[in-house]
Copies of this chain bind each other. A is one copy, B any other.
Amino acid sequence: MAATLQTVADAVGVSRSTVSNAYSRPDQLSLELRTRILAAAEKLGYAGPNPSARSLRRGKVDSIGVLLTANLSIAFRDPYAVSFLRGLAEAAEERRNSLLLIPMPRHDMEGSLEAVRNAAVDAFCVYCVPNWTGALELIAARGLPVVSGDDPQLMRSELPPNTGMLGFVGIDDRAAARTLAAHVAGFGHRRVAIVAHWATDHGGTGPVGLTPEDLRYSVSGERTRGYRDAFEAAGVPWNDILLINAVENVRAAGQDAAAHALDRLDRSTAILTTSDVLALGVLDALKDRGLQPGRDVSVTGFDDIPEAELAGLTTMRQPSYERGRISGEMLLDPPEDPQARRRVLPTTLVVRKTTGPAPTS
């Protein structure tokens, strides 16, 4: 049914190679012949080289795979992720690459890995994927370049990553978190809660008796570590801190999580979160209870999405668009120098109205 190169070649009376050249190397044949071939192709309903066949032969696909969060539809709800993607898309577009978005549902590790295995791409960008080790190893086995921002070890490593293909583009989550928490601790808060997403796979949203080291998701782990650092320095031991798991990085989960910190006799006076989206949910919870952010309870986010400004949220700003863009560029033009494959981007503490002195009651 579908016409192929051969069909066209036969019709025009030339060889397959010539037809192939007509599409892929216009300079290799006379304009006249090329025109004739293209016309014949059109008439026969030949739409051009089969993409799979072409990339099989060429060993190149011109598209980069994006492993983005547990689940695409949640990622699209997070302005930070969207902005990141925008940067990545722009870099890809400039080099005429497409973006293959690969869903990685957490409940289906098997299927997720299968998707990574099957992805027809030249490189991968791994962004906020919990428990991603399996995926990373698979990618390594495929011998494809990867950029990630999730691996703290990668960020720290003085030496080039062992796999020649591995790059880091991200921030120093722990240090940034430490700065943010120091700001809060400076207000004298001692009853503190932390809302962290994907802290654990078991159970739902609610308090968990874990240390930062136990957390399943490296980014939440690093940020939580930073929070602990700062509070310990201020004389608040980890055991006094209430760690609350949020099942997903969505606003409603932040709201639910906050209930566990607010609806108790020794109500927390400060709630730190691992993302702005969660923090907005926490603010929702405060509102439900008639509590005033920054006075009754201090709240912080992470990322600095546009909504954070509207909400007056104190947060830690990290570059989103640039991060995506740099990731894309690194993937598409891998730098020779291994050091250039490790980009730790700057962060900024943004103090707004949701943080203030601990209530004296």
0 or 1 for each of A90-116: is its CB under 8 Å from B? (1 = yes): 101100101111110100000100110
Is residue A55 within 8 Å, beta carbon to beta carbon, of the partner chain? yes
Contact B100 A99 (CB under 8 A): yes
0 or 1 for each of A53-67: is its CB under 8 Å from B? (1 = yes): 111100001110000
Q: Give the chain B neighbours of A63 by CB distance below 8 A.
A: 100, 120
Is residue A354 within 8 Å, beta carbon to beta carbon, of the partner chain? no
Known: A51-B119, A52-B120, A56-B52. A98 touches B103 (CB 8 A): yes
Q: Of the candidates B76, B93, B102, which one forms a contact with A83 in the assembled complex, judged by CB atoms under 8 Å apart?
A: B76
Known: A45-B141, A47-B141, A86-B77. A72 touches B99 (CB 8 A): yes
Is residue A143 within 8 Å, beta carbon to beta carbon, of the partner chain? yes
Q: A103–B88 Cα gap in the complex (Å)?
A: 12
Q: A50–B117 Cα gap in the complex (Å)?
A: 8
Is residue A236 within 8 Å, beta carbon to beta carbon, of the partner chain? no
Q: Give the chain B neighbours of A56 by CB distance below 8 A.
A: 50, 52-53, 56
Known: A51-B120, A93-B103. A86 touches B111 (CB 8 A): no
Name the residue of chain B whose CB is nearest to the CB of A62. Answer: B118
Known: A120-B51, A143-B2. A73 touches B100 (CB 8 A): no
Is residue A289 within 8 Å, beta carbon to beta carbon, of the partner chain? no
Shortest distance in angstroms between A47's beta carbon and chain B's nearest beta carbon?
4
Q: Give the chain B neighbours of A45 by CB distance below 8 A.
A: 141
**Which parts of A72-90 form the interface with B (CB within 8 Å)?**
72-73, 76-77, 82-83, 85-87, 89-90
Name the residue of chain B whose CB is nearest to the CB of A48. Answer: B117
Contact B72 A86 (CB under 8 A): yes
Contact A93 B76 (CB under 8 A): no
Shortest distance in angstroms between A338's beta carbon and chain B's nearest beta carbon?
20
Is residue A142 within 8 Å, beta carbon to beta carbon, of the partner chain? yes
Is residue A46 within 8 Å, beta carbon to beta carbon, of the partner chain? yes
Q: A121–B2 Cα gap in the complex (Å)?
A: 16
Is residue A200 within 8 Å, beta carbon to beta carbon, of the partner chain? no
Contact A76 B72 (CB under 8 A): no
Q: Of the candidates B47, B72, B111, which one forms a contact with A90 in the assembled complex, judged by CB atoms under 8 Å apart?
A: B72
Q: A50–B143 Cα gap in the complex (Å)?
A: 12
Known: A56-B53, A141-B47. A93 touches B118 (CB 8 A): no
Contact B90 A73 (CB under 8 A): yes
Is residue A71 within 8 Å, beta carbon to beta carbon, of the partner chain? yes
Contact A86 B96 (CB under 8 A): no
Contact A54 B103 (CB under 8 A): no
Q: Give the chain B neighbours of A96 by CB distance below 8 A.
A: 103, 111, 114-115
